Amino acid sequence: MFEAVHAKRYAERMTAYLGLGVQSHVIEVASDDGSLLQHFSRLGIPVIGIEPDHTAAVRAMKVRGIPTLTGSFGRDMALRLAAEGIDADLIVANNALPHMPDLEDFLGGVALLLNPEGVATFEIAPTSDLSRRLAEELTANGLRVFDIEPPSMPQGSLQLFACRWDSAWQCGPLVARTLARPFTDPLH
């Protein structure tokens, strides 16, 4: 039950925060059965799911009506979507970073697909600090963290907000404090 409520609140909050509408694009990597994207879709916002598991992708399309691509997200898929005229206002990657076999390719795809003021959100375990490796990978791929949202509950996830390096998004105060702490590597 919490997941459904959390997903709906996230969609409503991000829609208001980013001013999303019918001309926007929301893309979720590791979208599973489309349970998050359905809330954006109900608000009239175009969505695309990307899911490596074929069965989950089919379920998202058949049960929830969410257009879903099957495969791994990276530069190649981002270039294909961009060639179709799609750029993302929001890319959602909840708990996806630790499972990416090629983090550089994944983040490179995010940077390619985000529009100039687009935002990518990543959820990571609350016990993990933003690692030097992740910060370096983001920078190397033209991205930067501009905000960090602490978990809303004890077992919740830390949410990172990233944008393209040249975006106008300003850094929030928690970013500097988090980056100043000793680092651990949440990816290993």
Indicate the burial class of 181 (C-beta count within 10 angstroms; 0-12, 13-18, 19 or more). Answer: exposed
CATH class of 2-180: alpha beta
Identify the pLDDT of residue 148: 85
Over the range 74-105, which residues count as b (16 or more CB within 10 Å of their CB) and which as e? bbebbeebeeeeebbbbbbbbebbeebeebeb
Domain assignments of the chain as residue spans, ordered by start: 2-180
Query: Which amino acid appears at position 31 of this protein?
Result: S
- The C-alpha atoms of residue 162 and residue 181 are separated, in whole angstroms, by 19
Identify the pLDDT of residue 124: 77
Q: CB-hemisphere CA count at 13 Å for 37? A: 30
Identify the pLDDT of residue 101: 86
Encode the chain (188 residues) as per-residue pLDDT tens digits.
347 788 999 999 999 999 999 999 999 999 999 999 999 999 999 999 999 989 988 888 898 999 999 999 999 999 999 999 999 999 999 878 777 889 999 999 999 999 999 999 988 776 555 556 677 788 899 999 999 887 766 667 778 899 999 999 998 877 877 665 544 434 43
Asked if 83 contacts 110 with a C-beta cutoff of 8 angstroms, the reply is no
Identify the pLDDT of residue 188: 37
Query: Which amino acid appears at position 161 of this protein?
Result: F
Asked if 78 contacts 72 with a C-beta cutoff of 8 angstroms, the reply is no
